[in-house]
Amino acid sequence: MSIFRAYDIRGIYKQDLDKEIMLRLGKALGTFLRGNKNVAVGYDTRLSSKRLFDSFTKGLKSTGCNVINLGMVPNPIVYFYAWKNRTFGVMITASHNPKEWNGLKIVRPSGISFINEISEIEKIFKFRKFIEGKGKMSKDNVLEKYRIFLKRKIGFIKKKAVVECFGTVGVKALPILKDLGLDTTSLHDKPDGKFFGFERPEPKGSNLKLVKKAVKKEEADFGIAFDGDADRAVFIDDKGRELDGSIMSAIFVDYILRKRRGKIVITYDCASELEGIVENLGGRIVWSRVGHGYIERRVVYERALFAGEQSSHFYFNQFYPFSDGILATLFLAKILTEGDEKLSKMVDSIKMNPTEKIYINVGMDENKNKIMKSIKKKYDDAQQIMDGIKIKLNKVEWILIRSSQTNPEINLCIEARNKARLKKLRQKYTKIIRKQI
């Protein structure tokens, strides 16, 4: 399995990634940057993260790069530091993957993740022709700068929320939410590299049972569940219902476009009704490939106001171009503070067909390419979307089949005219994919 992915580096600790590999990765990145650059580095709560941080930063310094140690922080805070200080940034994390995994997310001074640069780093890594230098390490209080920035932009909010932390949010970001006025009840807010017994720090499915129950028990205005590195946030309404990325994008878009017209970026796996919602508000839809690196680039290039993914990554470009679950939480609280409607009422007013995203494990990364090649051949008249295909069944319904960029999985996304039809399509296309495994 290659650790070099489309827009990050990721693998299983001690199998694909160890101290020696991370040392080489630090040297490879430093060589790519030609040394003498400042690089901010943070890490998540995984058991392996601090060890890999030590090796990676040693490699960086050996090329002449200076390391700013941000410590254990959420991913958006590393990105914020890089963007605010016009430097490069690296987050040691495997996001929502199981605890055995780890990796790197790398961001440019513009706030856009490395994409094409990953293949260049891979070449340097393999040939081992590293430059040499003597970099230094320093520390910076990024949390205070991040808090001040958000407080100035968001203002004071007054709502009650239940926060399912899972990872770095409970360690560093929970006090920021409270400081801006959010009355929080928190779950799993201590650092735990084993993620409290959950298979993975993924805000979906059975992992949301506790936060849904707590929202109703505490009579909270809403709930939030973050993934392991907190660049993604899945929301729960006051009735305890999970809200997907399309519904939340509609809520954010309605607020944003009523104040200012502009472009809205959404991914191919979002509900098609979003296009009509955006256009009715005077905005313009720009469709994008799934994946934070591609969306960040699209947001900047199009000068879009907002971007949303079905997986609940949200990008507020009036702040910065990368996704931030902490900012999304504060933005929703701001909307609810300024209005007089409950979140559940806002949700009920949005008319969308049922959608679903299914993750099908195919065993190994190598299998993904074989399966996608076979499916593309079977549906050669479908819309090609880089890492997959989109099959339009009629004016309403569609099937999206794509290769996951982070896991050995095929993603199946469906929009149907009703739940019965959704179930039927899920069974049909899941069977088609599994037959290829």
In this predicted structure, what is the pLDDT of residue 338?
A: 95
pLDDT at 106: 97
Distance CA 50, CA 39 (A): 17
Q: Assess whether 117 and 162 both reside in one domain.
A: no
Residue 373 sits in a domain whose CATH number is: 3.30.310.50
Question: Considering the domain boundaries, does residue 50 fall inside one?
Answer: yes
Q: What tokens appear for 7 in the block?
A: 């827009």
Does residue 23 share a domain with residue 115? yes
Q: Where does a domain end: 206, 239, 272?
A: 239
For residues 317 and 367, membership in a common domain is answered with no
| Cβ neighbours of residue 431 closer than 8 Å, sequence gap 6 or more | none
- CB-based contact 339:317 (threshold 8 Å): no
Write the CATH number for 230: 3.40.120.10
Q: Domain check: are 328 and 306 in the same one?
A: yes
Q: What is the DSSP letter of 173?
A: I
Report the number of distinct structural domains present in the chain.
Answer: 4
Kindly write down the DSSP assignment for every residue of 386-428, as one continuous string: SSEEEEE-SSS-EEEEEE-SSSSEEEEEEE-SSHHHHHHHHHH
Give the pLDDT of residue 265.
97
Query: And the tokens for 326?
Result: 């902490």
User: Is residue 165 domain-resident?
Assistant: yes
Domain boundary, last residue among 193, 224, 239: 239
Q: Using alpha carbons only, give the angle 297, 120, 7 rounded to the nearest 5 degrees.
A: 40
First CA to last CA distance, the chain: 17
Would you say residue 2 lies in a domain? no
Following DSSP, what letter does each residue of 141-161 receive, concatenated?
-HHHHHHHHHHHHH-----EE
Instruction: Note whether 408 and 337 are same-domain residues.
Output: no
**Helix (H, G, I), strand (E, B), or coil: what is residue 285?**
strand
Residue 44 within any structural domain of the chain: yes
Partnered with residue 365 across adjacent β-strands are none
DSSP state letter for 205 = G
Domain boundary among 200, 223, 239: 239
309 with 360, same domain? Answer: no
Q: What is the pLDDT of residues 303-341, one digit of tens each?
A: 999 999 999 999 999 999 999 999 999 999 999 999 989
Residue 108 to residue 116: CA distance in whole angstroms: 12
Asked, for residue 224, whether it belongs to a domain, the answer is: yes
Whether residue 84 is found in the same domain as residue 100? yes
* DSSP at 123: H
Structural domain contains residue 393:
yes
Exposure string for 243-270, b = 16+ CB within 10 A, e = fewer? bbbbbbbbbbbbbbbeeeebbbbbbbbb
Q: Is 358 exposed, middle or buried (0-12, 13-18, 19+ CB in 10 A)?
A: middle
Strands 101-107 and 137-139: unpaired
The tens place of each residue's pLDDT in the chain, 437 residues long, gives 689 988 899 999 999 999 999 999 999 999 999 998 899 999 999 999 999 999 999 999 999 999 999 999 999 999 999 999 999 999 999 999 999 999 999 999 999 999 999 999 999 999 999 999 999 999 998 999 999 999 999 998 989 999 999 878 887 899 999 999 999 999 999 889 999 999 899 999 899 999 999 999 999 999 999 999 999 999 999 999 999 999 999 999 999 999 999 999 999 889 989 999 999 999 999 999 888 999 999 999 999 999 999 999 999 999 999 999 999 999 999 999 999 899 999 999 998 998 888 888 877 777 787 888 888 888 877 788 777 889 999 888 999 998 887 777 898 999 999 999 999 999 999 998 888 87
Cα 371 to the chain's mean position, in Å?
Answer: 25
**Which candidate, 305, 308, 273, 303, places its Cα nearest to that of 288?**
308
The verdict on 404 and 325 lying in the same domain is no
| Per-residue model confidence as pLDDT tens digits over 265-311 | 999 889 989 999 999 999 999 999 888 999 999 999 999 999 999 99
The CA distances from residue 132 to 40, 52, 60, 128, in Å, are 19, 20, 10, 12
Q: Tokens 């796996």 — which residue?
A: 269
Are 373 and 339 part of one and the same domain? no
Residue 1 has a pLDDT of 61
Which residues form the domain of 39? 9-140
Answer yes or no: are the C-beta atoms of 29 and 41 closer than 8 Å: no
Q: Say how far apart CA 413 and CA 290 lie, in whole Å.
A: 12
231 and 252 together in one domain? no
- Give residue for tokens 């992992």: 207
DSSP letter (8 states) at residue 113 = B
pLDDT at 326: 97
Same domain assignment for residues 208 and 280 = no
* Reported pTM: 0.93
Structure tokens at 312: 């609940």
